Amino acid sequence: MDDRKVRNIGVSAHIDSGKTTLTERILFYTKRIHAIHDVKGKDGVGATMDSMELEKERGITIASAATFCEWGGHEINIIDTPGHVDFTVEVERSLRVLDGAVLVLCSVGGVQSQSITVDQQMKRYKVPCVAFINKCDRSGADPYRVIDQLRAKLGHNAVAIQIPIGLENNFQGIIDLVSMKAVYFDGENGENVRIEEIPGALTQEAIAKREELIDAASMFSDELTEAILEEREIPEELLTNALRSGTLTRKITPVLMGSAYKNKGVQPLLDAVTQLLPCPSDMKNEALDTDNNEKPVILSSSAEDPAVALAFKLEDGAYGQLTYIRVYQGSIAKGSTIVNARTGKKVKVGRVVRMHADQMEDMEAIPAGYIGALFGIDCASGDTFTSPGTTLTMSSMFVADPVISLSITPKDNKSQINMSKALNRFTKEDPTFKTYVDGETKETIIEGMGELHLEIYVERMRREYDAEVETGNPRVAYRETITRKAEFNYTHKKQTGGSGQYGRIAGYMEPITEEEFEFVNKITGGAIPTQFIPACEKGFYACMAKGPRMEFPVTGVRVLINDGAAHSVDSSEMAFQAAARGAFREAYAKAKAVIHEPVMKVVVETPTEFQGPVMGLLNQRRGMIVGAQDDGPMCVIEAQAPLAEMFGFSTVLRSATQGQAQFTMEFALYKLVPQSIAEELAEKAAKAKKGI
């Protein structure tokens, strides 16, 4: 197989810009599906990519299915990425396995706040992209404004390689500025592409826009520059090659347009994907060598070398767990043995398949650069698989700590069993989703990155696993930390018949910022016998889980012990653990403990007339407004607000702005809780204690 004919692309965009519809059309034109269903279709079938029932109902894509199709002799793997900000882990994980992306933008909505987040992620993983301005048939469509926004808001060097023939209701087709031809889409589903000369009225505009395009592309090809200077006719291929090298380095973003819903402009987009986006060997992929201090190693993308593959997505199919993998180096064949780099476990590969949303196709092997799926392999998403003897691992992805938690209680016995199945699956799929059982209340707690994030999982539990659960009130993940150094000198002594307990520990604790917990042993002369030191550390560490003040987890503490005493008979590991706990409490009381709360970065997009009220709303919620960006009819307000105050914000925002504002929220940092709020929390904690 020739990997230059392979494209692994993602379709990435703001929610509702028509990403799923576009993917659907691509699958139709590449003859992977034979009928078109719409998102929220009346026929109740739904678009093929959204395989989850919940997604079908809400019209949004939650999980990113990988699907395969062919166009013009090229094999294209499409990863449908989730559009909502609460699922950014899935988006980021998908971006990791892509070589290129199609950034879909709505010609009316333009660059919205979510597009900015997605774009930042693409920048982080250096994913080259082409932009597709969708919905050119909608009223208010203005692709040129969107191009300006791409430049101004996202900093892309966006250049149109097409211009529309008519807009809004009158949108008929596009003019390809590379070939200088008009392209129309005939037939019931736009499957017949008709190429004609450019209509007279648009000739001038097309020529002008082509000049701009050539000008921008000439930066990336000396040959093209020469041709311009000599005023020669510019061959299509030369221009395409120049555009391609600009695109690969992310220095240029070619912009295409159309309307997926009206079946216009999709085939030229596929052409652009094959012509302009990179093949796997164009991209450099790095792995970390665990034997060599995690030094980055560049992977060869040759099928002969030892295999390295990343499991980026798990799915529960009818035949067990399906693991989507991207092979970076070597190949993974049926019957071969691979090693999970995280656990070190060897696994034998059973079936190897290639996915098309819900259907699959068996394969002999997945070579480097390809995306496929394995059956019956137990792993978590983000795991690396390698050939035995290789010590490489794909770098672990950045995963934030959860900021919100919710207690869930199953309604009946059947739900109980299903719930644990579901939780087991979800935690494997999504590293930001965590679950544990509270030791005191015996409740199951789920943790995640936001209100909606948890809501979706509760919904999925109900729908996919038939587990009815009752949820408690969402709780914010507060933290405690100390602000100054405090000394301790604690003796644990018990003599109540039998062998007693004795241990004395002295030293101090102090705040640190780099780590959550650090234990330093500065005992000299064996004041505490060496065998008891680990017990001391364990005792201190155990206290970190629940702060003595408000029972929130404690972070940022360094404990140093420098003196102590032991008894030849009465000292034991247990005694020193108890002594450590006592010492922690003693010092903690003096160390000026404070509470930190998660603060979210909130970005609100609102029509300018509501700017004042929105700022007021944010201000009421202890939000600190960072800035307001005036952008014609819309404005963007950026603020930092504590998560605790943001529950139900979407409803309040909607009612204050006649439903015209939208907002995104992501975790920013932990910040000190103001005194008054801290007192409130203390009161609540005290009440809760009494209640038990």
Q: Which residues bind another protein (CB under 8 A)?
A: 152-153, 513, 611-612, 615-616, 619, 624-632, 636, 638, 671-672
What are the backbone angles phi and psi of residue 378, rounded to the nearest 5°?
Answer: -90, 115
Beta carbons within 10 angstroms of residue 226's beta carbon: 12
Q: Which helix (H) or strand (E) holds 39?
A: none
Tell me the C-alpha distance between 564 and 32, whole Å. 73
Minimum distance from residue 625 beta carbon to another protein (Å): 7
Q: Are strands 517-521 and 557-565 parallel, antiparallel or unpaired?
A: parallel
The conformation of residue 103, written as its DSSP 8-state character, comes to E
Q: Is 219 helix (H, G, I), strand (E, B) or coil?
A: helix
> Looking at beta carbons only, is 475 or 671 nearer to another protein?
671
Q: Quick one: 179 or 608, whose CB is closer to another protein?
A: 608
Q: Which is nearer to another protein, 306 or 613 (CB)?
A: 613
Question: Which C-beta is closer to another protein: that of 389 or that of 632?
Answer: 632
Q: How far apart are CA 638 and CA 635, in angstroms?
A: 10
Q: Minimum distance from CB of 624 to another protein (Å)?
A: 6
Is the Cβ of residue 57 or residue 630 nearer to another protein in the bound state?
630
Position of tokens 């404005």?
635
The residues that bridge with 404 in the sheet, in sequence order, are: 448, 476
CB of 515 to another protein, least distance (A): 15
Output the smallest distance, CB 507 to another protein, in A: 23
3-state SS record for 517-570: EEEEECCCCCCCCHHHHHHHHHHHHHHHCCCCCCCCCECCEEEEEEEEECCCCC
Instruction: Pick between residue 441 and residue 483 the one whose CB is nearest to another protein.
Output: 483
| DSSP β-bridge partners for residue 408 | 444, 471
Query: From edge to edge, which strands make up the β-sheet containing 100-106?
Result: 66-71, 74-80, 6-13, 100-106, 129-134, 253-257, 158-160
Q: State the minimum distance, in angstroms, from the CB of residue 627 to another protein.
A: 3
Q: Which is nearer to another protein, 560 or 634 (CB)?
A: 634
Q: Which amino acid is at 38?
A: D
Region of 99 (left: φ > 0; alpha: ψ -120 to 50; beta: rest) is: alpha
Q: Give dist(CA 146, CA 132) in Å, integer.
A: 10
The nearer residue to another protein, 203 or 629, going by C-beta atoms, is 629
Which of 14/19 has CB closer to another protein?
A: 14
Residue 37 Cβ vs another protein, minimum distance, rounded to whole Å: 39
Could you tell me where the DSSP H helices lie in 249-342?
A: 266-276
Supply the minimum distance, in Å, between the C-beta of residue 639 and another protein: 10
- 543 vs 635, beta carbon nearer another protein: 635
CA-to-CA separations, 652 to 86, 620, 646, in angstroms, rounded:
19, 12, 10
CB 280, min distance to another protein, A: 33
Burial classification of residue 110, based on how many CB atoms lie within 10 Å of its CB (0-12 exposed, 13-18 middle, 19 or more buried):
buried
Q: Which is nearer to another protein, 119 or 430 (CB)?
A: 119
Nearest residue to 353 (alpha-carbon basis) of 379, 330, 319, 396: 319
Query: What does the alpha-carbon distance between residue 75 and residue 272 come to, in Å, rounded to a whole number?
Result: 14
**What does the CA dihedral 236, 238, 242, 244 come to, rounded to 10 degrees?**
60
Minimum Å distance from CB 630 to another protein? 4
Please identify, using beta-carbon distances, which residue of 15 and 672 lies nearer to another protein.
672
Q: Rank residues 499 and 629 by Cβ distance to another protein and give the closer one.
A: 629
> What does the H/E/C string look like for 653-673?
HHHHCCCCCEEEEEEEEEEEC
Rounded least distance, CB 49 to another protein, Å = 33
Question: For the purposes of burial, counting CB atoms within 10 Å of the CB of 317, is it exposed (0-12), middle (13-18) or buried (19 or more)?
Answer: middle
Query: At closest approach, how far in Å is the CB of 628 from another protein?
Result: 5
User: Least separation, in Å, of the C-beta of 614 and another protein?
Assistant: 9
Q: Compute the least distance from the CB of residue 509 to another protein, in Å.
A: 19
Q: How far is the CB of 650 from another protein (least distance, A)?
A: 21
- Considering the complex, state which of residue 72 and residue 616 has its C-beta at the smaller distance from another protein: 616
Residue 13 — φ and ψ, nearest 5°? -175, 175
Exposure string for 213-223, b = 16+ CB within 10 A, e = fewer: bbebbbebbee
Q: Taking the complex as a whole, how short is the minimal distance between the CB of residue 618 and another protein, in angstroms?
A: 9
Q: Is 304 helix (H, G, I), strand (E, B) or coil?
A: coil
For another protein, the closer CB: 231 or 514: 514
d(CA 255, CA 103): 9
The token pair at 171 is 């949108």
